[in-house]
């Protein structure tokens, strides 16, 4: 179209981030959508620091929150009244999408944003319907897709079908689709989304919080492995417990779970029973919920941070460990494939070969010099490629490219209500 995106990439923009189910104000590590909340918060703060006017729209899920909050990081959060002010499941949120869209249309009536960036499939349908009939570009990031849902995610076939239908609609109507990893990009293309409007921009890491420093958390054994995540079977913590039985003098600390949980949930009980059954009950610590601000000290206390999910992963913990200068052992799934450069910034192992993981882990724990090399390279990679400043700058270029190519929406968007059964006419 004759417009140089490089020349306009850093002009100040009015940016609307739609994050219907993940508020950036949520306490890190507490909400079910914790990683997405942190992603939106980090991105909003970084975009604001670049001089852009950023407003995050999220669904009001509590009756006693102000409609608009100006954060210390320079961006605003708007709590959109769409349905009852309480936590709802995806299907219930979708049923109130019309209210969300109506609010956005009214809010943008006099001065629409320069670009709308939706996070998640529910946010995506609200975004594309809210800008119909205008030239405002929509950038979509799915973060996860219905076609690659984890095995332990409970959902009916009808729920999954509806979600995949909405995702395909959003993917085709969005001006740009931003994937956070090459694995996610392949899944997006598998939906039939045009490769020409797909770009990969990874998630970022808070380098002010996660940085190298001295060990501060005490150990009970000469060597320590740390793992972090929600206590779900797909996270592979049981595999780590079995691996521990092949390594002497090593303890495993697993951080995760709801605040206040005292090992009373079924997964905690299962993991502790497994540890006892393989003879490592005294070397496994379920630390429960660890406040986000305390995670750096825990990660730095480890010889190795293990990220061993069997399926998808956003790679957030691996990035945080690398930023802290701690070597990472990771399964080759999801975003971990991009973040961890095997043999240089960490070690990648197949997700379905526990013997290979055990061999790699023993080699890492036995070779201090190798761990130091991985530590230095991982730290450098995290700071060079995954700072929020770098991520936000890359996204602004994508926003500018979307603005340069945007044309009036296609007529098919006007029939979206009929296809989703949720949006206003």
Mean pLDDT to the nearest integer, 345-359: 91
171 touches 155 (CB < 8 A): no
Cα separation, 391 vs 254, whole angstroms: 29
Model pLDDT for residues 260-313, shown as the tens digit of each residue: 555 678 999 999 999 999 999 999 999 998 988 999 999 999 999 999 998 888
Count of positions (residues) in the chain: 425
| CA contacts within 13 A on the Cβ side of 17 | 31
Q: Which of 268, 279, 216, 240 is nearest to 357 (CA)?
A: 240
Cα separation, 365 vs 244, whole angstroms: 11
- 410 by DSSP, 3-state: which? coil
Q: Which of 143, 191, 132, 189 is nearest to 166 (CA)?
A: 191
User: What's residue 150's pLDDT?
Assistant: 52
pLDDT at 425 over 50: no
User: What's residue 327's pLDDT?
Assistant: 97
Enumerate residues 6+ apart whose C-beta is below 8 A from 414.
132
Helices (H), ranges, 222-328: 237-244, 266-277, 295-300, 316-324
Cα separation, 95 vs 30, whole angstroms: 25
Question: Which is more confidently placed, 176 or 160?
Answer: 176
Model pLDDT for residues 103-134, shown as the tens digit of each residue: 999 999 989 999 999 999 999 999 999 999 89
| CA contacts within 13 A on the Cβ side of 354 | 11
User: What's residue 313's pLDDT?
Assistant: 83
User: What's residue 27's pLDDT?
Assistant: 76
Angle at 199 between CA 55 and CA 319, to 5 degrees: 75
User: What's residue 220's pLDDT?
Assistant: 84
Cα separation, 170 vs 420, whole angstroms: 11
Average pLDDT, the chain: 88
User: What's residue 75's pLDDT?
Assistant: 98
User: What's residue 1's pLDDT?
Assistant: 39
Model pLDDT for residues 196-233, shown as the tens digit of each residue: 999 999 999 999 999 998 776 678 889 999 999 989 99
pLDDT at 412 over 50: no
Q: Which of 95, 97, 98, 55 is nearest to 79 (CA)?
A: 55
Model pLDDT for residues 58-85, shown as the tens digit of each residue: 999 999 999 999 999 999 999 999 999 9
- 45 by DSSP, 3-state: which? helix
CB burial class (10 A; 0-12, 13-18, 19+) of residue 418? exposed
């Amino acid at each position: 179209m004759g417009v140089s995106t490089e020349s306009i990439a850093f002009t100040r923009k009015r940016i609307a981030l739609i994050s219907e189910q993940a508020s950036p104000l949520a306490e890190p590590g507490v909400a079910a959508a914790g990683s997405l909340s942190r992603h939106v918060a980090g991105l909003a703060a970084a975009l604001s620091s670049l001089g852009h006017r950023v407003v995050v729209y999220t669904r009001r899920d509590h009756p006693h929150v102000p409609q608009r909050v100006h954060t210390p990081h320079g961006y605003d959060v708007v709590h959109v009244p769409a349905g009852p002010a309480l936590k709802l499941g995806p299907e219930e949120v979708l049923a109130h999408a019309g209210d969300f869209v109506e609010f956005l249309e009214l809010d943008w009536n006099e001065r629409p944003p320069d670009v709308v960036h939706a996070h998640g499939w529910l946010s995506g349908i609200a975004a594309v319907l809210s800008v119909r009939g205008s030239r405002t570009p929509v950038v979509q990031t799915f973060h996860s897709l219905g076609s690659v849902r984890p095995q332990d995610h409970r959902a009916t076939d009808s729920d999954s079908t509806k979600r995949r239908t909405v995702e395909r609609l959003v993917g085709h109507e969005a001006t740009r689709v931003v994937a956070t990893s090459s694995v996610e990009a392949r899944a997006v293309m598998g939906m039939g989304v045009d490769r020409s409007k797909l770009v990969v921009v990874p998630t970022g890491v808070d380098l002010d919080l996660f940085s190298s420093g001295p060990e501060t958390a005490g150990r009970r054994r000469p060597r320590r492995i740390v793992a972090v995540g929600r206590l779900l079977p797909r996270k592979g913590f049981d595999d780590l417990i079995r691996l521990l039985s092949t390594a002497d003098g090593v303890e495993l600390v697993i951080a995760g779970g709801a605040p206040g949980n005292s090992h009373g949930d079924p997964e905690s009980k299962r993991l502790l029973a497994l540890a006892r059954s393989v003879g490592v009950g005294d070397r496994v610590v379920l630390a429960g919920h660890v406040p986000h601000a305390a995670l750096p000290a825990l990660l730095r206390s480890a010889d190795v941070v293990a990220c061993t999910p069997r399926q998808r992963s956003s790679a957030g913990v691996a990035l945080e460990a690398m930023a802290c200068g701690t070597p990472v052992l990771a399964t080759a799934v999801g975003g971990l494939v991009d973040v961890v450069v095997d043999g240089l910034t960490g070690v990648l192992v197949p997700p379905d070969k526990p013997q290979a993981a055990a061999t790699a882990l023993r080699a890492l724990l036995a070779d201090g010099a190798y761990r130091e090399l991985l530590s230095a390279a991982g730290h450098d990679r995290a700071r060079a490629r995954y700072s929020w400043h770098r991520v936000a700058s890359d996204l602004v270029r994508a926003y500018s490219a979307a603005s340069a190519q945007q044309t009036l929406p296609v007529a098919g968007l006007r029939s979206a209500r009929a296809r989703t059964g949720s949006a206003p006419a």
